[in-house]
Copies of this chain bind each other. A is one copy, B any other.
Amino acid sequence: MSTQIFPVRLSAAQQDAAYFHSYNHVGIHEEMIKDRIRTEAYRDAIFAHQEAIKDKVVIDVGCGTGILSIFCAAAGARKVYAVDASDIAVQAREVVKANGFSDVITVIVGRVEEIQLEEKADVIISEWMGYMLLYETMLPSVVCARDRWLKPGGLMLPSFATLYMAPITNPDRYGESIDFWRNVYGFDMSAILPLAKQCAFEEPCVEVITAENVISFPILVKRIDCSTVTLEELETVTTTFSVPSIMRAHLHGFALWFNVSFGGDASSLPKSKAASNGTIPLVLSTAPEDPPTHWAQQTILYVYEPVELQQDNLISGTFTMSQCKENPRFLNVHIEYSCGDRHFVKESVMR
């Protein structure tokens, strides 16, 4: 035997402490920094907006080890307030010092909702995106920082965020976790199938899929203008959809992915891709057709029973994602969908 999983329900009082505590571990920062697609997109965005940053005041919300603040300082910012409620910010302060940026970057260990600054900022930068874009519920902290400390007309980096969804087929994954039980060393263990499906697919799965798994054009779930989005808007996100299957396939679930753009709106682009030539905004994409990131690319809501689809069969329904009452950093996911005259409901919580 071999397990290392000890699941437990946290009390409300432990939730926030546990959240910020999880970012004390250097490994998480190592993983994020080593995600070159993520980190280079931010670096390139900072230098692409050097004119807006040079000699200006920047707030870095959730600065972690301080790498984005250092990029901003290197881009000529007059002052960077690097804020993080996790103890990792203590490390950021040492890093800033070692790189000779102590005069420019002020590291503040605290919640951005509670800090006091001596001045308003020209730019807010933050890497706030979680799985399904909104997991972790960090964007409300960025919105709060914006409303308290950003000058009117100030720059938000990223500027826009867009969440997409699409039905997918994934027979390999389904076979590995489910069909596997039909023949185990010559014995029929399919009695386990109902529990196996529940264990494998009850919660959203963080996995990499590719464009070949996607069986319709993407559905736009939510477009967020970071300069104007309100806290209320983020509590519940819902969309209705009706898309034809582009091929004959088994529907195994729905994938969610996002992109964010720096200085422009990526949702209006013909294809989400990282590019920067002055006219097309710089985009950080986690779409199935783009290379994987540390977000493992997509969050998948698997369905318990695959549905056989013919080409052009409609998949219609409603998708709703809302902050969890039990812990506002978690997400409740509710999807109702129909294929022909068959109707399904899938409820899930991303913890």
Contact = CB atoms under 8 A, between A and B. Distances in A.
Chain multiplicity (copies): 2
A115 interface: no
Contacts of A163: none
B189 A95 contact: yes
A70 B246 CA distance: 45
B22 A98 contact: no
Contacts of A211: none
Interface in A1-54: 1-8, 10, 14, 18-19, 21-23, 25-28, 30-34, 39-40, 43
Nearest to A196: B26
Contacts of A65: 184, 189, 192
A14 B3 contact: no
Contact of A188 (B99, B130, B189, B295): B99
A2 B67 contact: no
A180 interface: yes
A97 interface: yes
A223 interface: no
Contacts of A26: 192, 195-196, 198-200
A191 B94 contact: yes
A324 to B, nearest CB: 13
A242 interface: no
Contacts of A5: 22, 25, 28
Contacts of A167: none
B91 A1 contact: no
B98 A191 contact: yes
A23 B3 contact: yes
Given A26-B199, A91-B192, A98-B189, 7 more contacts: A1-B62, A2-B131, A5-B25, A40-B185, A70-B187, A95-B187, A98-B190
A122 interface: no
A265 interface: no
A138 interface: yes
Nearest to A3: B22
A206 to B, nearest CB: 8
A94 B7 contact: no
A339 to B, nearest CB: 27
A88 to B, nearest CB: 8
A143 B12 CA distance: 41
A128 interface: yes
A130 B27 contact: no
Nearest to A9: B8
Contacts of A3: 22-23, 28, 136
Contacts of A6: 10, 18-19, 22, 351
A192 B64 CA distance: 11
A187 B25 contact: no
A294 interface: yes
8 contacts: A2-B294, A5-B22, A5-B25, A7-B22, A26-B192, A26-B195, A65-B184, A95-B187
Nearest to A96: B191
A177 interface: yes
A127 interface: yes
A144 interface: no
A33 to B, nearest CB: 6
A27 B199 contact: yes
Nearest to A90: B195
